[in-house]
Amino acid sequence: MNPLNIIVACIQKKQCISFSYDGHMRHAAPHVVGNKNGDLQMLVWQYGGSGKSGPVSGDWKCMKLDKVSGLAPNADAWATGGNHTQPQTCVGDKLEEVSY
């Protein structure tokens, strides 16, 4: 299954994912995936792993799918940020979005 299909399925099931991005292992709950300016992008709540600034324990991240590697669903509990009702600007044309 390609990364887009994995992300869509995980959004539909509210299942978390683990992957590498910019050389850092990340654990996240995908919330939206789609296109913006010709790129496939996803908006995730990153609840674990690390990023350019060090360890991450809860932050919204916008990520390009072509920079994701080693993507796989994980068994962690679904996670989301407290401000998930704010309008997102990461994805323009949504292919899938989590339902609350």
Query: What architecture (CATH level 2) is domain 3-74?
Result: Roll (2.30)
pLDDT score of 43:
96
Beta-strand relationship, 59-64 and 54-55: unpaired
pLDDT, one tens digit per residue, over 22-75 is 999 999 999 999 999 999 999 999 999 999 888 988 999 999 999 999 999 999
Task: Report pLDDT for 19.
Answer: 98
How many CB atoms neighbour CB 71 within 10 A? 20
Q: What is the pLDDT of residue 57?
A: 87
- Rounded Cα–Cα distance for residues 98 and 63 (Å): 16
Task: Sketch the domain layout of the chain as residue ranges.
Answer: 3-74
Strand 93-97 with 24-36, pairing = antiparallel
Residue 7: exposure state from Cβ atoms within 10 A (0-12, 13-18, ≥19):
buried
Q: What is the pTM of this model?
A: 0.92
